[in-house]
Amino acid sequence: MSNKLLMAFALMLVIEGILPFVAPAAWRETFLRLAHMADGQIRFIGLTSMLIGVVLLVVFF
């Protein structure tokens, strides 16, 4: 179980690192826009992201 969790974490880091590596200016602009959002908007984005992840896990596993 811990091996799969570590593999999933490593894959998440690889996927999250793609945009800053390929398009650093676009990543910076996106990050700046995110920094200016209200806390509620950021929480909604986080909740939506988690729900999509859970749905994908249920559908594919």
3-state secondary structure of 48: helix
Query: What pLDDT digit, counting tens, does each position of 3-18 carry?
Result: 888 999 999 999 999 9
Query: What pLDDT digit, counting tens, does each position of 21-58 carry?
Result: 999 999 999 999 999 999 999 999 999 999 999 999 89
Q: Which residues contact 42 (CB under 8 A, 6 or more apart)?
A: 34
pTM attached to this predicted model: 0.72
